[in-house]
Copies of this chain bind each other. A is one copy, B any other.
Amino acid sequence: MKKVLITGVTGFVGSHLAEYTLNEMPQVEIYGTTRIRSRMENIRDIADKIITVNSDLKDYTSTMDILSSIEPDIIFHLAAQSFVPMSWKAPAETLDTNIISTLNILEASRTLPKKPRIHLACSSEEYGMVKESELPITEKNPLRPLSPYGVSKVAQDMLGYQYFMSYKLPVYRTRAFNHTGPRRTDLFVTSNFAKQIVEIEIGRKRNIKVGNLDTIRDFTDVRDIVRAYWLCVEKCEPGEVYNVCSGVGRRIKDVLDGLISLSDICSKIDIEIDKKRMRPSDVPILIGSSKTFTDRTGWKPQIPWEKTLGDLLNYWRERLK
């Protein structure tokens, strides 16, 4: 049996990765880190099939304890402060959480007798300010992060590179672009829209509040993303970095229209611009190229966009029942 440790297993991506691993990798034992008071809802259905361990990854001793007792073959490091707008409100917390937890995992791993393969979930937010002439964005694009979250992910990304170079630690880095699907919290735009639409469906709300509808983003279903993370540690080069994205640009307005079209609410529903939803700095268009990754692994998104949106609506219909 192979041992896999998923940090942040109760989170959006972590729970999907655990599920995917359960379904597709019968020879794998799944460990996951949680924190005291973690919401366990996302892993409710699989709780008896994985082993969860309480830890604080910002504390080296705690991280080392977990790694040396589990001795994982592979670590998927997903625990993070991942909500971009929060990073302007709590920049020190965001930088500290995202950078120091990564450092502790790398430091602890390099001292283990058997070095685990480590996947770092870096982010398209590292690219930040992208020029239209640079689209679609490859891994070679300059990094010009526009949020403290983006900065924290650059530091995580560079740490992964540096630990590979300094210690030959097998670190695999991906930069995933936007991803969504069931269990995304309503802090994120697609899920927030889906929730508001379901609230209208059940008569709890009359209109939809939105931020900037003109930005264009490259969305992938989270279930395609976690499949990519596995392919990365299995088929990619340690020390290298790979974009993971669909290559398709979707205007946020079209995402909203897509969700509305999958609902029976009136398409003339009131849409209200909410200034508080605007960011201090944002980039109008972000579309990636995952050519390097696809050439290496054969990966391509498989889940149609309409299914992603439909499943997201159903998730909220179930939760708000």
Q: Mark A86-128, 1 if CB is under 8 A from B, else 0.
A: 0010011001100110011001000000000000000000001
Q: Which residue of B lies closest to A129 (CB)?
A: B165
Q: A166: CB under 8 A from chain B? A: yes
Is A162 in the interface zone, CB < 8 Å from B?
Answer: yes
A154 and B21 alpha carbons, distance in the complex (Å): 35
A150:B129 contact, CB within 8 angstroms: no
Whether A155 is near chain B, meaning CB under 8 Å from some CB there, is: yes
Closest to A91 in B: B103
Interface range for A: 35 or more
Q: Take A142-B140, A150-B162 as given contacts and tell me if A95 and B99 are in contact as well, using a CB distance cutoff of 8 Å.
A: yes
- Whether A146 contacts B129 in the complex (CB less than 8 A), given A91-B107, A154-B154, comes out as no
- Interfacial chain B residues near A165, Cβ < 8 Å: 128-129, 144, 146, 281
Q: CB of A12 within 8 A of chain B?
A: no
Task: Determine whether A309 belongs to the interface, using a CB cutoff of 8 Å to chain B.
Answer: no
- A60 contacts across to B, CB distance below 8 A: 92
A262 at interface by CB-CB < 8 Å? no
Q: In this assembly, does A202 line the interface, its C-beta being within 8 Å of a C-beta of chain B?
A: no
Bound form: Cα–Cα A166–B143 in Å: 15
Q: Say whether B166 contacts A147, CB under 8 Å.
A: yes
List 22 A-B residue pairs with CB atoms under 8 Å apart, sorted by A's residue number.
Answer: A91-B107, A92-B100, A92-B104, A95-B103, A96-B100, A99-B99, A99-B155, A103-B148, A128-B165, A144-B158, A144-B161, A145-B161, A146-B162, A147-B162, A147-B166, A148-B159, A151-B155, A152-B155, A154-B154, A154-B158, A155-B158, A165-B281
Q: Give the B-binding residues of A (Cβ under 8 A).
A: 60, 88, 91-92, 95-96, 99-100, 103-104, 107, 128-129, 140, 142-148, 150-152, 154-155, 158-159, 161-162, 165-167, 280-281
